[in-house]
């Protein structure tokens, strides 16, 4: 069985930053990229709030830069999904693509989060053809057109405001009679002249053959249905942390975010560290994820050093 010192799962800002630090510490990290190499930033456009890029940078380019920096210090970056883990003993066991097992002294989890979907067949079928979970990535394609955005949290409010500056009209579908978003974000949405908020409203079906042509709505109080003609359908109903494979081993909150010991990346299993959006449901920013990846590497380095001392002492006895 292959043995490595540090195994990093995930290739977003957290994973690559962990890799830079672990590689520079001589730990020869191996990083598995997962199903979306580069992570969520590869599906966004301009990133203007990452320090160090005064002119902004394309999200995908930024992740190429992160990767190059990790490789420069000797990180081994591999294609592949970690499909299961076994944290019952030590070293930790990690299975890749359901077949290859690797033993790792420390595991750094940087698996991030993914957008949630409503789960409608029409939403799936028209994904990328007018259906999107990222207004910032795709809003541009609907310039001057009419769109729907589903959701009532801060993300939906922020994305509705963003879209209102590009498109002709935004219909915001709120399933209850109130929004969850912070007061200031609600005010922003309510003050925008071209955003219409439809309370107590859910999506019955996204309409269209080759592209989105409309949406059939249902009023959650009266049950009444009606159709709107729109060209874009945005979903902003939150994110799901990519932590399913760890649920039998790690302490998590009720929504699946890994509980790290505050101020550290440590989980309930010694030698397993959680970084980035997989353990952060509050900030969800690339710069925070990068910082947390650094914590993961430093915590892993310390853990390995302590293990080495422990094993050396055991040999002497
Ligand atoms: P949230 O979980 O806060 O909100 C999700 C929203 O989607 C809720 O309004 C929820 O409705 C709605 N929703 C969920 N499922 C469905 C469904 N099936 N159909 C219709 N509506 C649905 O997620 P966000 O991504 O908005 O925010 C996550 C965290 O990030 C929050 O803590 C937020 O404050 C923070 N954030 C902060 C920002 C900022 O400060 N600038 C920007 C973006 C996010 P309901 O209310 O009925 O449950």
The protein residue whose alpha carbon is closest to atom 23 in ligand 1 is 238
**Preceding omega of 91 cis (within 30 degrees of 0):** yes
Pairwise CA distance, residues 279 & 118, whole Å:
23
DSSP state of 227: E
Match 């750094």 to its residue by tokens: 108
Pairwise CA distance, residues 89 & 262, whole Å:
24
Confidence of residue 306 (pLDDT cuts 50, 70, 90): very high
Which residue from 159, 180, 183, 204 has its CB within 8 A of the most atoms of ligand 1, so it is best to mutate? 180
**HSE toward the beta carbon, residue 264, CA cutoff 13 A:** 14
The protein residue whose alpha carbon is closest to atom 15 in ligand 1 is 237
**pLDDT of 101-145, one tens digit each?**
999 999 999 999 998 999 999 999 998 899 998 888 789 889 999
pLDDT computed for residue 187 by the predictor: 97
* Angle at alpha carbon of residue 166, lines to 165 and 172, rounded to 5°: 75
Poorest-pLDDT segment among 44-48, 51-55, 203-207, 301-305:
44-48
pLDDT computed for residue 291 by the predictor: 98
Burial code of 271-283, b = ≥16 C-beta within 10 A, e = fewer?
A: bbbbbbbbbbeee
Pairwise CA distance, residues 132 & 81, whole Å:
24
Instruction: Find out whether 228 and 127 touch, Cβ atoms under 8 Å.
Output: no
Distance 190 CA to ligand 1 centre (A): 17
Distance 181 CA to ligand 1 centre (A): 7
Q: 137 φ, ψ to 5°?
A: -75, -40
Each domain of the chain, given as residue ranges in start order, spans: 2-114+239-316, 117-235
DSSP H helical segments within 1-44, as ranges?
A: 13-24
Confidence of residue 316 (pLDDT cuts 50, 70, 90): confident
DSSP H helical segments within the chain, as ranges?
A: 13-24, 59-72, 121-125, 135-138, 154-164, 183-191, 286-316
pLDDT computed for residue 49 by the predictor: 83
**pLDDT of 4-39, one tens digit each?**
999 999 999 999 999 999 999 999 999 999 988 999
Average pLDDT over residues 45-55: 85
The pocket around ligand 1, CB under 6 angstroms, is made up of: 118, 150-156, 158, 175-176, 180, 202, 237-239, 282, 284
CATH 3.50.50.60 fits 117-235, yes or no: yes
Instruction: Find out whether 176 and 199 touch, Cβ atoms under 8 Å.
Output: yes
Pairwise CA distance, residues 79 & 37, whole Å:
8
- Biggest CA–CA distance in the chain, Å, is 78
Annotation marks residue 294 as catalytic: no
**pLDDT of 231-242, one tens digit each?**
999 999 998 999
Catalytic hit among 65, 97, 100, 137:
137
State the pTM of this model.
0.79
**HSE toward the beta carbon, residue 32, CA cutoff 13 A:** 23
The protein residue whose alpha carbon is closest to atom 16 in ligand 1 is 237
Confidence of residue 58 (pLDDT cuts 50, 70, 90): confident
Annotation marks residue 134 as catalytic: yes
pLDDT computed for residue 233 by the predictor: 98
Catalytic hit among 65, 86, 97, 138:
138
Instruction: Find out whether 120 and 205 touch, Cβ atoms under 8 Å.
Output: yes
**pLDDT of 142-195, one tens digit each?**
999 999 999 999 889 999 999 999 999 999 999 999 999 999 999 999 999 999
Distance 239 CA to ligand 1 centre (A): 8
pLDDT computed for residue 45 by the predictor: 65
Distance 118 CA to ligand 1 centre (A): 13
Confidence of residue 44 (pLDDT cuts 50, 70, 90): low
Q: Which CATH class is domain 2-114+239-316?
A: alpha beta
Q: Inform me whether the pLDDT recorded for 266 exceeds 70.
A: yes
Instruction: Find out whether 9 and 34 touch, Cβ atoms under 8 Å.
Output: yes
Distance 237 CA to ligand 1 centre (A): 5
């Amino acid at each position: 069985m292959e043995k490595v010192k540090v195994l990093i799962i995930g290739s977003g800002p957290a994973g690559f930053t962990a890799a830079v630090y672990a590689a520079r510490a001589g730990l020869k990290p191996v990083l598995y990229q997962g199903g979306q190499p580069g992570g969520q930033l590869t599906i966004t456009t301009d990133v203007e709030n990452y320090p160090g890029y005064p002119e902004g940078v394309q999200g995908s380019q930024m992740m190429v830069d992160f990767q190059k920096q990790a490789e420069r210090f000797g990180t081994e970056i591999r294609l592949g999904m970690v499909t299961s883990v076994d944290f019952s003993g030590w070293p930790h066991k990690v299975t890749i693509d359901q077949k290859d097992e690797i033993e790792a002294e420390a595991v750094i989890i940087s698996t991030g989060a993914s957008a949630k979907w409503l789960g409608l067949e029409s939403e799936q079928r028209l994904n990328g053809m007018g259906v999107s979970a990222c207004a910032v990535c795709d809003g541009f394609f609907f310039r001057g057109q009419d769109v729907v955005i589903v959701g009532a949290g801060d993300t939906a409010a922020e994305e509705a405001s963003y879209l209102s500056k590009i498109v002709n009209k935004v219909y915001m579908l709120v399933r209850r009679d109130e929004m969850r978003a912070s007061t200031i974000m609600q005010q922003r949405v309510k003050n925008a002249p071209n955003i219409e908020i439809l309370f107590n409203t859910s999506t019955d079906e996204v309409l269209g053959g080759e592209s989105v042509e409309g949406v059939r709505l249902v009023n959650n109080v009266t049950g009444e249905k009606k159709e709107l003609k729109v060209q874009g359908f945005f979903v902003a109903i939150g994110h799901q942390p990519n932590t399913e494979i760890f649920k039998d081993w790690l302490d998590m909150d009720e929504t699946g975010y890994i509980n790290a010991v505050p101020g550290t990346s440590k989980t309930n299993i010694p030698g397993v560290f959680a970084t980035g959006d997989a353990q952060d449901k509050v900030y969800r920013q690339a710069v925070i994820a990068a910082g947390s990846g650094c914590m993961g590497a430093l915590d892993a380095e310390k853990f390995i050093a302590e293990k080495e001392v422990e094993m050396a002492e055991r040999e002497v006895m």
